[in-house]
Amino acid sequence: MADPNSSPRPPLVTGDKTIADVTRDICAPLERGPTGLWWGALAVSCSALLLGVVAVGYQIAVGVGTWGLNKTVGWAFDITNFVFWVGIGHAGTLISAVLFLFRQKWRTAVNRSAEAMTLFAVVCAGIFPLIHMGRPWLAFWTLPYPNTRGSLWVNFKSPLLWDVFAISTYLLISAVFWYVGLIPDLATIRDRSGPGWRRRICSVLSLGWNGSARTWHRYETVYMLLAGLATPLVFSVHTIVSMDFATSVIPGWHTTIFPPYFVAGAIFSGLAMVLTLMIVARKVMRLEDYITHSHVDQMCKLMLSMGCIVGLAYGTEFFTAFYSGNGYEQFVFKNRALGPFCWAYWTMVTCNVVIPQLLWFRSVRASLPCVFALAIVVNIGMWFERFVIIVTSLHRDFLPSSWADYAPTSIEIATLLGSFGLFFSCFLIFCRFAPVIAMAEIKGAAHLGKPAAGRREAHRQEHAA
Q: For 398-411, how does the pLDDT look when each residue is reduced to its tens digit (9 = 90+)?
A: 888 888 889 899 99
pLDDT value for 451: 58
Polymer length in residues for the chain: 465
Q: Which of 103-117, 146-160, 161-175, 350-364 has the lowest mean pLDDT?
A: 146-160
**Greatest mean pLDDT range, 60-64, 100-104, 280-284, 359-363:** 359-363
Question: What's the pLDDT at 8?
Answer: 60
pLDDT band with cut points at 50, 70 and 90 for residue 147: low
Query: What's the rounded Cα separation, in Å, for the pair 188 and 191?
Result: 5
Share of the chain above pLDDT 90, in %: 33
Contact 171, 122 (CB under 8 A): yes
Q: What is the pLDDT of residues 14-28, one digit of tens each?
A: 777 788 888 888 888
Q: How many CA atoms lie within 13 A of 134 on its CB side?
A: 7
Higher pLDDT, 373 or 28: 373
CA distance linking residue 207 with residue 187, whole number of Å: 8
What pLDDT shows up at residue 378?
Answer: 95
Distance (Å, rounded) from C-alpha 226 to C-alpha 101?
A: 11
Intra-chain end-to-end CA distance of the chain, in Å: 36
Of the pLDDT bands very low, low, confident and very high (cuts 50, 70, 90), residue 448 is low
With a threshold of 0.85, does the pTM exceed it? yes
Report whether 195 contacts 153 (CB < 8 A). no
Residue 238 has pLDDT above 90, yes or no: no
Cα atoms in the Cβ-side hemisphere of radius 13 Å centred on 85: 28
Cβ–Cβ contacts within 10 Å for residue 361, how many? 11
pLDDT in tens, 311-332: 999 999 999 888 988 888 899 9
Lowest-pLDDT range of 144-153, 272-281, 380-389: 144-153
pLDDT, average across residues 290-315: 91
Q: Is residue 268 packed enough to be buried (19+ CB in 10 Å), middle (13-18) or exposed (0-12)?
A: buried
pLDDT at 108 over 50: yes
Nearest alpha-carbon partner for 408 in 425, 383, 377: 383
Comparing CA positions, the residue from 317, 313, 388 lying closest to residue 348 is 388
6: confidence class by pLDDT, cuts 50, 70, 90:
very low
Average pLDDT rounded to a whole number, residues 407-435:
92
- Residue 91 pLDDT grade (very low, low, confident, very high; cuts 50, 70, 90): confident
DSSP string, 257-277: THHHHHHHHHHHHHHHHHHHH
Domains of the chain in start order, with CATH, are: 19-145+155-464 (1.20.1630.10)
DSSP summary character for residue 33:
P
Give the confidence band of 453 by pLDDT, cuts at 50, 70, 90. very low
Number of Cβ atoms within 10 Å of the Cβ of 213: 7
Tell me how far apart the alpha carbons of residues 446 and 465 are, in angstroms, rounded to a whole number: 14
**68: helix, strand or coil:** coil
Q: 441 pLDDT band (50/70/90 cuts)?
A: confident
pLDDT at 268: 92
Q: Is the pLDDT of residue 361 over 70?
A: yes
Distance CA 212, CA 302 (A): 36
Ranges of H-type helices in 206-341:
213-246, 258-284, 293-324, 327-338
Sequence-separated (6 or more) residues with CB below 8 Å from residue 222: 180
For every residue of 392-460, DSSP letters joined together read HHHSS-SSGGG-------HHHHHHHHHHHHHHHHHHHHHHHHS-SS-HHHHHHHTTTTS-HHHHHHHHH
27-83: pLDDT as tens digits: 888 888 788 888 999 999 999 999 999 999 999 999 888 998 888 888 888 889 999
The pair phi, psi for residue 218, each rounded to 5°, is -70, -35
Q: What percentage of the chain carries pLDDT values higher than 70?
A: 92
Highest mean pLDDT among 31-35, 252-256, 351-355, 434-438: 351-355
Give yes or no for residue 307 having a pLDDT over 50. yes
- pLDDT number for residue 460: 52
Mean pLDDT, rounded, for 260-275: 90
Q: What is the mean pLDDT of the chain?
A: 86
